[in-house]
Structure formats: structure tokens, C-alpha cells
Amino acid sequence: GAMAQTTDVLVAIGTSTGGTIALEQVLSTLPRVCPGIVIVQHMPELFTAAFARRLDSLCQLDVREAKTNDRVLAGTALIAPGGKHMVVRRSGAQYRVEVLDGPPVNRHRPSVDVLFRSVAECAGRNALGILMTGMGADGARGLLQMHEAGARTLAQDEASCVVYGMPKEAVKLGAVDRTLALDAIPQEIVGALRH
């Protein structure tokens, strides 16, 4: 089917409480050659642009706040803007993001579930989903949908989480292939290129 036409690997990451530091640790250790990454970090409006700029200055990757029609490209990480949802769409053999208004989901906007569900639908088994430190359950159901669509799914382990909420809920749902310490996550992202 249509899925066979793209071999681009897409990495989707969701995080909340404790996530800014966790993302900094993961992204700053990634080499320039790595899959395209889309990220929802629960954050208020106006904070995400500064956060993206800070990460961009620390990382070999290009890190920026997402805008509608941005392509998901190798060596690039797109962060959902605070106060908006972000989804991934397929256009031909490319993935592009769309930034949307809409009601909060699981009391969050951006919501990890909204991102993960879109990735399950458009990328299926070409995706790697990662749920990291955070309070609550946002992203657990979306990760399950990714898992059911054939994506590989990871959760950060309790010991390395600031708050073991979101990953724990995903594990409970049976959404997680592997639970890993934070410092083992970067190599999984790089390794996704070979799958």
C-alpha cells in the first residue's frame, strides 16, 4: 500500500513534568545523522519558542518550534508550540506537520495523544514512539495506537523519570515494547534508521 512508498523513519516523543531536562539530555547527545523527530512537551504558550532555540544552540540537530507545513526531515526536531496541537500528515513520500487549534485533550494542548494518534495513522510501522517523564496519562493511549499500527514503542524507566506517570500508564495498557533508562534512548533513536 501507500506505506511502502516511504522508508523515512519518524520518531515521535511525548513528555511533560521533568521533560525539558530529559529532552535536552536526549537531543544534545544525538548526531546530526538521525531520523526526523516530532515532539510534544507540555508547556505554556510563548515558552516553546525559547525552549526550541535553547535546544538548537546545544544540539547538532536543527531544533525548532513547529509551523504548519514544516517537513519532518532527518537531522531535524520539531517541537509543538505551546497552546496548539500538532499532527503529522503524509504528503506523497514526505511527512509534514500541521499545527492546529482545538480543545485540550487530557487537559493538555499540545497533547501527546493527538500527535501519537496522527503518527500511528500516517506512519504506522515506519515510526518509533517514545513516552518520557511526565505526570498523568497523556500519550499512553496514543502510544498504544502506534504499537497496534506496528510502530516500535519505548518508555522511559521509573528510575530515570522525574515523574513516572505517563510511561507507567502506557506500560499498564500494554503499549510499550521496551522500557529504557533515559541515557539508553538516544542510541535507540539513531538505531531506528536501520530498522
Q: Is 1 exposed, middle or buried (0-12, 13-18, 19+ CB in 10 A)?
A: exposed
Dump pLDDT digits (tens) for 23-35: 999 999 999 999 9
pLDDT at 92: 85
Residue-range domain boundaries for the chain = 7-194
Least confident of 4-13, 44-53, 69-78: 4-13
Q: Which three cell numbers stand for residue 78?
A: 520539531
| Right CATH for 7-194 from 3.30.413.10, 1.10.3190.10, 3.40.50.2300, 3.40.50.180 | 3.40.50.180
> Model confidence at 182, in pLDDT bands (50, 70, 90)?
very high
Give catalytic status of residue 16 as yes or no. Answer: yes
pLDDT at 126: 94
Percentage of residues in the chain having pLDDT higher than 70: 96
Dump pLDDT digits (tens) for 79-90: 999 999 999 999
- Identified catalytic residue from 8, 113, 138, 157: 138
Answering whether pTM is above 0.85, one says: yes
Q: Which residues contact 103 (CB under 8 A, 6 or more apart)?
A: 109
Give catalytic status of residue 138 as yes or no. Answer: yes
> Model confidence at 93, in pLDDT bands (50, 70, 90)?
confident
- Identified catalytic residue from 42, 85, 108, 147: 42
Dump pLDDT digits (tens) for 157-175: 999 999 999 999 999 999 9
Dump pLDDT digits (tens) for 110-152: 999 999 999 999 999 999 999 999 999 999 999 999 999 999 9
Looking at residues 54-69, what average pLDDT do you find? 97
pLDDT at 195: 62
42-71 burial, b if ≥16 CB within 10 A, otherwise e? bbeeeebeebbeebbeebebebbbbeeebe
pLDDT at 6: 55
